[in-house]
Structure formats: structure tokens, C-alpha cells
Structure 1
Amino acid sequence: MSFTRLQAVVDQHLEGRDALRILEAGCGSASHLRFGPGAHLVGIDISERQLDRNGALDEKIVGDLQSHPLGSGYDLIVCWDVLEHLPRPDDALENMLASVAPGGLLVIAAPDPASGKGLATKLTPYRVHVWAYKLVGFEGAGQDDRGPFRTHMRFAIRPARISRLASGLGFQTVFLEFRESGMQSSLRSKIRLVGRAWERVRAIVRRVSGGRIDPAATDFTIVLRAKP
């Protein structure tokens, strides 16, 4: 995915807004977008340790995104690699959508649960996820509130369904892009499934699936805009 394209979409739709009020939903210890000067950055996470590691936040909330009152009037809400870990992602989605200011944005990044990687993640035990993280160099994987985190991977988080749910609440989808996850790319490099070999695998899967599945399209990013 091009972060440049995503950043450009966010900047375009928020142009002219001063002192942005931003919520990082399930923020963890880092941010994925750039925010202009004067932005007030609020972060909510269920892990106090993750919040303690995040030095970019102006305000920190320990709480469950599915049920914690978020308030309202956020110009931008960013939810990055969070929904797949929730047993009730619809509750979190509705909670966030209700908190976006008129004309504001909700940015969601998540694995596609119908992708090969999504299905593999859903069907394999947690210890396999920890092993995969360690294989690509994350020595502290699964320790001290660090990833990988346990996943539910509900099919409710498919991008088409998110778009329909948001549309029913007055939101417009202004950006949707599929990409290969960094984890899958790192794993492929580790086992040397790269270059022509990887392209052959992609071609075979696309042919067998009638073009419906691309092994490189494991994750997605969607941007939803509230009515002005």
C-alpha cells in the first residue's frame, strides 16, 4: 500500500480544518498517519502498557473500543489492525461511526478475513502466530502486551460489509485499497517465495479461483467520510 496515497486522501478531506481532534482507536504504541501542528491526539487501548509506550498522545484512555463511550466530534478516527482482534467488531464500528464529526473521517486498516492469510490466521492456534512473529525476527512476540494479539477475525469486518454498514449511517467510502501485509511479505522472504516463484503462485491461485483471489491482497484500508 502507498501510505502517500492514503495520507493525501486524508489531507484532502480534512483541508481547512484547524486544531484537528483525532482519536487513535486501539492505538497501541504507535501512529500510522501524520497529523498537522495543533492536532489534539486521543488514544484508547485496552492495554495500559501499550498506552504507556505511546509518547505521541495528548490524552490516554484505558478502555474497550466495543463499549467505552468515545464522545463525539472527532475530525479523524484511525483504527489500525484492531477489528480482527475483537469478538464484537460491529459494536466497535458503530461506536466509532457515532463519534465522527460532520465531514470527518474514519480510517480502518485490517486483514481481509476472506483472504488466504485471513483464513489461515482464523484457523490456526495462537502459538502458530507467535512462532511466525519470532521467525521474522520479533523475539519478544506475545510477551509484555506485545503482538501478535489473539484474533477473532469475524467475517463482519470484510470491507464491503463495513462500507454497507457505514453507508446506512450516512457515510461515504472515499478510499479503498487492498495490499499485502508486511508479515506475509516478511514470511515469504524468509522462505524465499519471492520474484518469479511468487508471481507463479499468484497466477495459479488467480486462475484456480476464477480471478476472485489474489494471494497478495491480504489486507485492506478503507476511508469513510461522514456527511458534512
Structure 2
Amino acid sequence: MPRLNEPAPAFTAVTTQGEISFPDDFAGHWVVFFSHPADFTPVCTSEFMTFAHMEEEFAAYNTKLLGLSIDSLYGHIAWLRLITERMEYRGWKNVEVHFPLIEDIKMEIARKYGMIQPGEGDTQAVRAVFIVDPQGILRTIMYYPMSTGRNMREILRIIKALQTTDEFDVATPADWVPGERVIVPTAGSCGIAKERMQGEVEGVECVDWFYCTKALDEQTIEQAIRRDPKEVLGR
């Protein structure tokens, strides 16, 4: 099983966009690597349409999408064509999926990433999400049951939070969104902690010695982490 803050397990695979080597081919970009139980299923269809609809929005934060199921390449192609030609979700029509979808018939990659959960099924991957940073390090892991569709806005929020914490050396509290106050790391000495508690550190407010926050406006964050999505996607 992969673990947080360790290198993402490497593999090569055939996808709907050609052969890839992961994570090397994605170096320099964040990646949302996710699995779904099966093609031609309703929940998965709604998820793929949502991911495809938001692809440029993810790319604006230097993030690429990569999908996987244990279906064949030909099954993937047929399903994605059907999505474009026939499906409608939330008023979206003619949705084209441009990001790669991995063929994993032998379940080798799915097993390597712990996407096969016997309690949910032995022959289908659960709805797993792995967020990998530009250095190929695994930063977030999420698992969903087969019956529950993912919240893509939450996945994007996590990416923004990770990039903000990396860029500004802070932490983010519960339900944080860009523009809200961020958490300042615990003081390294009693003297600094005392100065914070007495309000002597500019911009820092403390409820107690271990809980201090500061303002970090959304514009500052956006200037630091936002990218041109066309450059990220290369199209």
C-alpha cells in the first residue's frame, strides 16, 4: 500500500492517450490519479463528465488528471465516445474526456495502489484518489465506496490547500478556502510563543500558545499558485 509523503509507486501503462510512464511523465505537475469501478456505469459516468468539465480549472493550479479502471482500452474508448455523443449531466452535453484513462485488465496497478478492496469487490477498483506533487511524492489519499460519487470541488480545494501550505509554510484549518485565515506553525521557542501571545508579532493572532493564525488573502495565494491552464495542458 502506498503511504503519504513517500514516492508514488512507479509504473508504465497503456492509456486512451498513448503509453505513459508514471510519475516521470508528469514531473513538474501535480496529479490527481483516480480509479473508478467500471466503464458504462452511472456514478462513474457522472464523475468523468465532472472531471472533464473541470479539467481546465484543475490545470489552472498546475494539476493534471489521470484515471484508471480494470476495463480494456477498447472498452474505455467506446465508453468515452458514448459520453460525448449521448450523455447529459447537470446540463453538460457533448463532454469530451481528454485526460488519459489507464487500461489495467490484470489489475497490477490497481493492486499496487491498494485500489482493490475485497470488502467492496475483488474484480473492481474502488473510487480511490491519490494526489501526487510535482516531485512525485504522494500527498493525499482518499477512498470512497462504489455507491458514492466524489466531490471534485473538495479535491480541488485540497490541491489549493497543499500548494498554499507549501508556498507559505502554513497549515489550513477545517473547511478552509483561499482567503480565510491560515494557521501559523507552533513557535519554536518559549520566547517567540510569549511574543505571539502578547500580540507582539505583527499580523499573528493567538487563541492560545499552540493555536495562532494570520491573514492570507486570496489574491496573494492566486498570484503564487495559479498557472495558465493552456500551458499546463499543452493545447
TM bin (shorter chain)? under 0.3
The higher radius of gyration belongs to: 2
Normalising by the residue count of structure 1, what TM-score does the alignment of the two structures yield?
0.26
Higher RCO, 1 vs 2 (CA within 8 Å, ≥6 residues apart): 2
Normalising by the residue count of structure 2, what TM-score does the alignment of the two structures yield?
0.26
